[in-house]
Amino acid sequence: MALCKTNIFINLIRNNRHYSTLCKSLTKTNSLNYSKPILISSQRWLFHEKSRKGGYETEKKVSNLEHLKSGFKELKQELKLFGQEVKELIVTDPLLIARPGETDLIWCFNEPGVLEKFVTTSDSDHNEGFSKCSLEMSSAGRARFHGYLDIRVPKDGRIKKAGYCAMRSKRIRKSFKRPATFDWHLYNTLVLKIRGDGRSYLLNISCEGYYDITWNDIYHYVLYTRGGPYWQIAKIPFSKFVLGSKGRLQDKQNRMRFDKVTHFGISCGDKINGPFDLEIEYIGLEFDPTHDEEFAYEMYKTDKYIVGV
C-alpha cells in the first residue's frame, strides 16, 4: 500500500510541474493526505558570470597553506618588481606624442623570452575537437605559429562545431599580482610583419571591462596572407576592428577602448582541414596622421531624447 502511494505521488510530480496544478491534484487524490503543499521550482539561469574564462577553468584549487608557501617564495621577486615600478615612475619620461610614421614595437619575436609571454590553445585542449597547434622559434629566428586544423566534430552529442587554434598574449601585471592593461591611446594603426601560407587568420584584441558583461569583449579583424617565401607588412587601422563577444558579432557596436587592452591574439579557424603555418617577426603600433576615422561601423542610431536631428 505504501509503495502504491509513493508511485502515485512520483507520477503526480512528473506530470504536474506547476505549484498550483500539483496542489489541486493532491487535494483531489483521496489516497494521499498531506497537510502542507509541495513547492517545486524550475532551474533558472542568471545573467551573472562567475568565471572570466567562461567555464574553461584550468587552475587547480589549492589549500591556504599552499598559498602561504608559494607566496613567501615569490615575495622576493615581487618586491624587486615593485622597486622597478617605483624607479620607472620617478626616472622614466612618459611618451606624450607618438611620432607619425614610426612603428613602436610591442613584441619583437627575435628577442629571447618573448614566446613565454604567449600561450596557445586549441579545441583538443578541452576535449572539444582534434586540432593541434604550437608556438615555436623558427629556423630564421622568428615566431612560428603552426599546427593542424581539424574540423571533425566529436561524437559526444554535445559539441556542434569544432576546428580552431589560437595564440594569445598573457595578461600583463604589476607587482603583487595586480593586473594591468596596455595603453594604446596614442596610436591608431596595428602593424604586423608576417609570412603566411595563404590562409586567413583572425586578429583578436581583448578589452575586458569591470563588469562581467564586458569580460568577453573582443575586437576582431580578418588578416589575409598571400603565402609564398616573401614577408609582408600588414597595417590595419583600429577603426576597422569589429566588436564581438563569445564568438558572436554584436548588434550594437562601439569603438575600441585603447586604454583597456588586456590581450592580443591570433586564431586560425577558416574551416579548412589541413596544416597551417604563420611566421611573425614583430607586432607593433603606429600613428598615421592621414587616417582620421574613429570607427568604421556607424549604427545610425540617435539617443531617445534627440528628436528630428
Could you read off the pLDDT of 156-186 as tens digits, one per residue? 888 888 999 999 999 998 888 888 999 999 9
Whether the per-residue pLDDT at 223 is higher than 70: the answer is yes
* Between residues 215 and 300, the one the model is more confident about: 215
Q: Are 69 and 63 in contact (CB under 8 A)?
A: no
pLDDT digits (tens, 9 = 90+) for 269-301: 999 999 999 999 999 999 999 999 999 987 766
Q: Is 120 left (phi over 0), alpha (psi -120 to 50) or beta?
A: beta
Distances (CA, A) of 195 to 86, 97, 228, 264, 279: 40, 31, 8, 18, 5
124/251: higher pLDDT: 124
Alpha carbon distance 189, 238 (integer Å): 6
Instruction: Kindly report which listed range (90-94, 136-140, 193-197, 301-305) carries the lowest average pLDDT score.
Output: 301-305
Task: Indicate if the pLDDT at residue 18 is higher than 50.
Answer: no
Structure confidence at residue 218 (pLDDT) = 95
Does residue 20 surpass a pLDDT of 50?
no
Mean pLDDT for the chain? Answer: 82
Structural domains of the chain sorted by starting position, each given as residue range(s) with its CATH number in brackets? 1-44 (no CATH), 98-286 (2.60.120.430)
pLDDT band per the 50, 70, 90 thresholds, residue 24: very low
Give the distance from CA 127 to its chain's centroid: 18
Spacing of C-alpha 292 from chain mean position:
28
Tell me the three-class secondary structure of the chain, residue by residue: CHHHHHHHHHHHHHHCCCHHHHHHHHHHCCCCCCCCCCCCCCCCCCCCCCCCCCCCCCCCCCCHHHHHHHHHHHHHHHHHHHHHHHHHHHHCCCCCCCCCCCEEEEEECCCCCCHHHEEEEEHHHHCCCCCEEEEEECCCCCEEEEEEECCCCCCCCCCCCCCCEEEEECCCECHHHCECCECCCCCCEEEEEEECCCCEEEEEEECCCCCHHHCCEEEEEEEECCCCCCCEEEEEEHHHCEEEECCEECCCCCCCCHHHECEEEEEECCCCCEEEEEEEEEEEEECCCCCCCCCCCCCCCCCCCCCCC
